Amino acid sequence: MPFPWLTPFLAGHEQFANSFQPGRSFPWLSGLFRGQEQTTSAAPSAGNEQAEYLEGTPTIDRMVHAATSQFTLGISPAAMTVAFADWATHLAWAPGKQHVLLTKALRKAARFDTYAARCAADPNTPCCIEPLPQDKRFRAPAWQRWPYNLIHQSFLLTQQWWHNATTGVRGVSPHHENVVNFVTRQMLDVFAPSNFLLTNPELLEITEKEGGQNLVRGAVNFVEDWERAIAGRPPMGAESLQIGRDLAVTQGKVIYRNRLMELIQYEPSTKNVYAEPVLMVPAWIMKYYILDLSPANSLVRYLVDRGHTVFMISWRNPGVEDRDLSMEDYRRLGLERALNVVQSVVPGRKIDAVGYCLGGTLLTIEAAALARKGKEWLNTVTLLAAQTDFGEAGELALYVDYSELAFLEDVMWNQGYLDTKQMAGAFQLLRSNDLIWSRILRSYLVGCREKMNDLMVWNADATRMPYKMHSQYLRSLFLNNDLAEGRYEVDGRPIALSDIRVPMFVVGTERDHVAPWRSVYKIQMPTDTNVTFVLTSGGHNAGIVSEPGHPRRHYRMSYRRHDEKYIDPTTWLEETPKHEGSWWPAWGEWLVKHAGDRVSPPPMGAPKKGHTPITAAPGTYVMQR
């Protein structure tokens, strides 16, 4: 041992752990007292690179990483150091780029001085720099008055210069450039003049008008939010909408349950139903009722009212005891088991399978595995904002490289799962102005509470991700892109997406930060089947929850036969016409086109086959926190 003085400490760690119980008071220490022998001596299975890497990691390294994450918000210091070192080193050896940046700085200073001088003579002088189209912070007329016009113009010029400084440095890897640019932008946004009372004219006007009462309300809001965060309670106002009363109220029964999921069968609302049942597979990173929100925007109710027999997987919210659940467990105990139960209820019929987000990725894996085995269980496959090719994974790729993944694996190893707060923080940073700073301003400086709607309540009701499964997902799919490149294995053999022959309906959303639509669009390249592709307005969630009658909604749709030439996404976007309204009716027509005859509704469950209804929908797993 390189540190002999640790020997007596490690030798007696079990007795010390039993008496001291460090995991209760200091959770990050619990890793030091868990699995020391397995971590250092267990032999990894042959050919399993991930297992070999994880088993060969000393426990004390993992403990240090887990402890460090509490101060770095889960970000790997090594990953940040390497990224900034790559950028700084190349910039230091680029005198031409330095000269360009110096010239730009002088020009921006001259432009700002000229603007300031003209404003002194004419307050209506046009701005010397305009914010980006998505930047709404400085749109109010109050920002055009002195001195706030100078303050926000100076900030925008500084922000633009730093963008020039962190991009276009020859030799820096694209990933490191994106990371440096992203982190620099986040740091600048912290000090934006809109975030401070004395430099925000809108806040000053409100404070003057209300005599400071907005700040009093804001302080109360802050204390309430702090108390709820400490207690692990949902945000203020979330109690106004409850699962089973206001949300997820479509009538149904839980007809099957195992340690991983509950399967819900919804009651028919029409006299006859289409012969082929619909199985919906949500992501286990979210609660299933995103697809069954309020009655007015429930995709489940929309299908049931149009004569479909609908089944839904409701995933269990994993805890530390589920740390070793794998992607294969979710496929086998989750999706494949659900398919078996549905076939028991509706025997002799193929299934219209619908996968959302990560559930869609799992559904694609299962579809390819079934095709390889020659099992014709599926009638159609619908993918909602689901990636199968992670080569263009979008802004989430900022958080994933080998260094960051190793760090995150150690954090999850210590906890047993990826916490909901860690996931939420990563997603919020991608849109920090909209999801962090604007919320802070409204709640704590303006003193206004935003009324919670159904989608906001669902968004606050997040789930955890098991350690082993999430590590496999990030390493195999997200980082190595094994599924798209033919290396992803099921039952010990690689699967091929080209084996899928059933018709596919694929939906991407225009403003998706989780599954960018150009990445979703790529499903047409490896598959050898007919694909209907839809691009709808909205983001990852709001674009899918797009019921008929929803204002300001539009979509584009095309159909491509398996033997037709591929069209790149840019050309497709230019050539495909826009349709106003929701994409739901178009999908409904597509389902009916591939459906069979109308028949009498099947029974609830299959009691003779051991699938007796257990409890009423929405079940018990969706209630877990």
pLDDT at 83: 93
Q: What is the pLDDT of residues 102-118, one digit of tens each?
A: 999 999 999 999 999 99
pLDDT at 1: 38
Q: What is the pLDDT of residues 44-58, one digit of tens each?
A: 333 344 444 455 567
The rounded distance, in Å, linking the Cα atoms of 603 and 274 is 14
pLDDT at 405: 84
Q: What is the pLDDT of residues 163-220, one digit of tens each?
A: 999 999 999 999 999 999 988 998 999 899 999 999 999 999 999 999 999 999 999 9
Q: What is the 3-state secondary structure (H, E, C) of 367-422?
A: HHHHHHHCCCCEEEEEEECCCCCCCCCHHHHHHCCHHHHHHHHHHHHHHCEECHHH
Q: Select from 462, 448, 447 the least CA-distant residue to 417.
A: 462
The rounded distance, in Å, linking the Cα atoms of 1 and 443 is 54
For residue 425, pLDDT over 80 is answered with no
pLDDT band with cut points at 50, 70 and 90 for residue 427:
low
Q: Select from 289, 250, 282 the least CA-distant residue to 624.
A: 289
C-beta of residue 437 within 8 angstroms of C-beta of residue 350 = no
Q: Select from 256, 254, 252, 241 the least CA-distant residue to 293.
A: 241
Q: What is the pLDDT of residues 308-353, one digit of tens each?
A: 999 999 999 999 999 999 999 999 999 999 999 999 999 999 999 9
Q: Select from 72, 66, 73 the least CA-distant residue to 428.
A: 73
Summary mean pLDDT of the chain: 87
- pLDDT > 90: what percent of the chain? 68
- Active-site positions? 357
Q: Which residue has the higher pLDDT, 438 or 532?
A: 532
Q: What is the pLDDT of residues 94-153, one digit of tens each?
A: 999 999 999 999 999 999 999 999 998 888 899 999 998 888 899 999 999 999 999 999
Q: What is the pTM of this model?
A: 0.85
Amino acid (one-letter) located at 207: T
For residue 429, pLDDT over 80 is answered with no
Q: Which long-range contacts (CB under 8 A, 24 or more apart) does 73-80 make?
A: 73/425, 74/407, 74/408, 74/411, 74/422, 74/425, 74/426, 75/404, 75/407, 76/403, 76/404, 76/406, 76/407, 76/408, 78/403, 78/407, 79/179, 79/401, 79/403, 79/404, 79/407, 80/179, 80/183
Angle value at C-alpha 55, between 52 and 57, nearest 5 degrees:
110
Q: What is the 3-state secondary structure (H, E, C) of 480-499?
A: CCCCCCCCCEECCEECCHHH
CA max distance for the chain: 88
The rounded distance, in Å, linking the Cα atoms of 248 and 254 is 13
What DSSP element (H or E) covers 534? strand 531-536
C-beta of residue 541 within 8 angstroms of C-beta of residue 455 = yes
Average pLDDT over residues 521-545: 95
DSSP label at residue 611: B
Query: Phi then psi for 310, rounded to 5 degrees?
Result: -110, 135
Pinpoint the alpha helices (H) of 232-357: 299-305, 327-329, 337-345
Average pLDDT over residues 436-443: 85
For residue 387, pLDDT over 70 is answered with yes
Q: Coil, strand, or helix at residue 424?
A: helix
C-beta of residue 74 within 8 angstroms of C-beta of residue 408 = yes
pLDDT at 428: 60
pLDDT band with cut points at 50, 70 and 90 for residue 65:
confident
DSSP string, 87-142: HHHHHHT-HHHHHHHHHHHHHHHHHHHHHHHHHHH-TTPPPSSPPPTT--TT-SGG
Every domain of the chain and the residues it spans:
1-72+392-419, 84-190, 252-391+481-623
Q: 266: which strand partners?
A: 252
The rounded distance, in Å, linking the Cα atoms of 524 and 566 is 8
Average pLDDT over residues 2-25: 39
pLDDT band with cut points at 50, 70 and 90 for residue 392:
confident
DSSP string, 180-193: HHHHHHHHHHHT-G
Q: What is the pLDDT of residues 251-291, one digit of tens each?
A: 999 999 999 999 999 999 999 999 999 999 999 988 999 99
pLDDT band with cut points at 50, 70 and 90 for residue 431:
low
pLDDT at 54: 52
DSSP string, 16-49: HHHHH-HHHH-GGGGGGGSSHHHHHHPPPPTT-H
Average pLDDT over residues 504-530: 94
C-beta of residue 601 within 8 angstroms of C-beta of residue 269 = no
At which residue do the structure tokens 């105990």 appear? 333
pLDDT band with cut points at 50, 70 and 90 for residue 38:
very low
Query: Phi then psi for 538, rounded to 5 degrees?
Result: 100, -175
Q: What is the pLDDT of residues 205-262, one digit of tens each?
A: 999 999 999 999 999 999 998 988 888 788 888 888 999 999 999 999 999 999 999 9
- Tell me the CB-side half-sphere exposure of residue 401, using CA atoms within 13 A: 17
Q: Which residue has the higher pLDDT, 282 or 421?
A: 282
For residue 5, pLDDT over 80 is answered with no
Bond preceding residue 147 cis, omega within 30 of 0 = yes
**347-381 exposure pattern, b = at least 16 Cβ within 10 A, e = fewer:** eebbbbbbbbbbbbbbbbbbbbbbbbeeeebbbbb
Query: Phi then psi for 191, rounded to 5 degrees?
Result: -100, 20
Would you state the torsion angle of the CA atoms of residues 258, 355, 249, 264, taken in this order, to the nearest 10 degrees? -30
Query: Phi then psi for 558, rounded to 5 degrees?
Result: -145, 160
Q: Measure CA of the first residue to CA of the last residue in the chain; give whole Å.
A: 43
The fold of 252-391+481-623 is Rossmann fold (3.40.50)
pLDDT at 430: 60
pLDDT band with cut points at 50, 70 and 90 for residue 31:
very low
For residue 506, pLDDT over 80 is answered with yes
C-beta of residue 455 within 8 angstroms of C-beta of residue 291 = no
pLDDT band with cut points at 50, 70 and 90 for residue 415:
confident
For residue 399, pLDDT over 50 is answered with yes
